[in-house]
Amino acid sequence: MLFDLDGTLADTIPLIVASYQHAFRSVLAEEVEEARARAWIGRPLLEALLEEDPEHGHALDAAYREWNLANTGRLIRRYDGVPEMLEALDAAGVRTAVVTSKRQETARLALEGVGIDHLVAVVAGLEDTDRHKPHPDPLLHGASVLGADPATCVYVGDATVDVQAARAAGMAAVAVTWGAGEPAALAAERPDALLDDVAALTALLLGRDGS
């Protein structure tokens, strides 16, 4: 079982949106609406910022990262049921890992922030592949680290790029609606499952009898 991090295992969405808003406000004196910021979630940070503003992308990236790290502990939140789901998967002998567009160090801080760092390891971060979601490379790298056949893997995420990357990697794609993605946009990608709460995800991944 491979998981996206932001908006899937940890509620980092308010933190990410506020970080984008701070960066644009401090560098460009520009206000960013929440919907616009949420649309960038799931993509590599610098890539998204350079696409928005090639001239100031690097300055925006630096401002974002500084503010994000300083406020992670204050704004990050745990999703109810996620620790219990990961514990149940571990008890069932399922190998689990995180594939994220965050840098390894930042991803580990997020996992620590919601108290699940001992339950799941980061096997693919931003620095581990040259191409990123929606390309399959991070997911294939994660499967390789686990020694798993991609065809036997499930990737769970909250963004359309997560579903697209899973399909490209030959994995089952599960989309969840409690993160940044719009339910209609996720449904349009035709994931193998589209779920609205952690209990439903746990039941799908483990089976109703916990097996």
pLDDT tens-digit readout, 175-204: 999 999 999 999 999 999 999 999 999 999
pLDDT at 207 over 90: no
What number is the average pLDDT over the span 147-168? 97
What number is the average pLDDT over the span 152-165? 97
Domains located in the chain, CATH noted: 2-11+77-206 (3.40.50.1000), 13-75 (1.10.150)
Give residue 211's pLDDT: 61
Residue 174 burial (10 A CB sphere; 0-12, 13-18, 19+) = buried
Place of tokens 């971060």: 125
Confidence of residue 1 (pLDDT cuts 50, 70, 90): very high
* Cβ 24 vs Cβ 31: under 8 Å: yes
pTM of the model: 0.90
Which residues are tagged catalytic?
Answer: 4
Pull the structure tokens for residue 77.
């939140």
Q: Tell me: the pLDDT tens digits for 34-68?
A: 999 998 988 889 999 999 999 999 999 999 999 99
Q: Tell me: the pLDDT tens digits for 108-117?
A: 999 999 999 9
Confidence of residue 210 (pLDDT cuts 50, 70, 90): low
Give residue 110's pLDDT: 92
Quote the mean pLDDT of the chain: 95
